[in-house]
Amino acid sequence: MPEITEGVYFIPGQDDFIPDSHVYVIGSSASHDLSIVDAGLMGKGGYKVGSIQKLGIKLEDVKRIIMTHTHLDHIGCLSEIREKIPHAELWVHADEAEPLENGDDRTVYGMDMFRSMCQSQYGLAPGAFTFNVDRKLQGGEALEIGAMQWEVLHVPGHSAGSIALYNREKKVLIPGDVVYADYAIGRFDLHRADGATLKDSLMRLGELDVNILLPGHNRVVKDLPEGYILSTARQWAPYLS
């Protein structure tokens, strides 16, 4: 099901020995103003761009890449994708944009042990994840992109600059790694993550009317039960303080 609903396309991640994030492409194809949400793991850029082209989308119509957050499994193949789509802007929440511009990769790797493991496994040089960010999101923006409306919500806790994208009309939520299907939530033990903050973010997402949940990993859900996010937040609340 590559087109989840009109103007929302799904390119599933291809997990390796570490996960590869899903990519979503948002925007009406007639608008010629499409956005890629997240990139994925190192080595997956060719597959992701090829999948976008197979959907009939012209790369010149892809105007920007919006990151839900900058963990390695989401940003790993950003350079590969930008090589193919060099004109695309990069939009990241300010809390992760500034470290990214300064070459501070603590959020990218999440923990020191993981940094040295991945650098040797994938041959990544120090500073490999230094990017200029074209637009620093704050949360609260009402984006008019691709002839659709997407609200930006700042939902920290899994990482400091996690955002969710919400389309109120179609009740579509793209929450990154904050909440998944099957009552799972993002981990909260990595750099600048925090359980209590994640709980607050989940409670705020729980107030939204969501029918289609498009997380960073695992299943997508097209007929989300009413109150799903709120009950997920409540189940996890005792562990999030």
Binding residues (CB under 5 A) for Zn ion: these are 21, 71, 73, 177, 216
CB of 153 to Zn ion, least distance (A): 16
Alpha helix (H) residue ranges in 13-150 = 45-54, 72-75, 78-84, 94-101, 106-109, 112-122
Structure tokens at 62: 């892809």
CB of 20 to Zn ion, least distance (A): 9
CB of 60 to Zn ion, least distance (A): 28
Nearer to Zn ion, 63 or 74 (CB): 74
DSSP β-ladder status, 172-174 and 163-167: antiparallel
DSSP β-ladder status, 8-11 and 23-26: antiparallel
Nearer to Zn ion, 135 or 192 (CB): 192
Cα dihedral: 139, 140, 144, 149 (round 10): 110
CB of 36 to Zn ion, least distance (A): 15
Question: Cβ(60)–Cβ(87) under 8 Å?
Answer: yes
Nearer to Zn ion, 7 or 186 (CB): 186
Nearer to Zn ion, 27 or 157 (CB): 157
Distances (CA, A) of 21 to 3, 49, 78, 192, 227: 17, 14, 12, 20, 25
Burial category of 31 from C-beta neighbours within 10 Å (exposed 0-12, middle 13-18, buried 19 and up): middle
CB of 69 to Zn ion, least distance (A): 6
Q: Which of 142, 114, 149 is nearest to 129 (CA)?
A: 114
Phi, psi for 37 (deg, rounded to 5): -105, 115
Nearer to Zn ion, 21 or 51 (CB): 21
Nearer to Zn ion, 37 or 148 (CB): 37
17 SS3 class:
coil
CB of 147 to Zn ion, least distance (A): 28
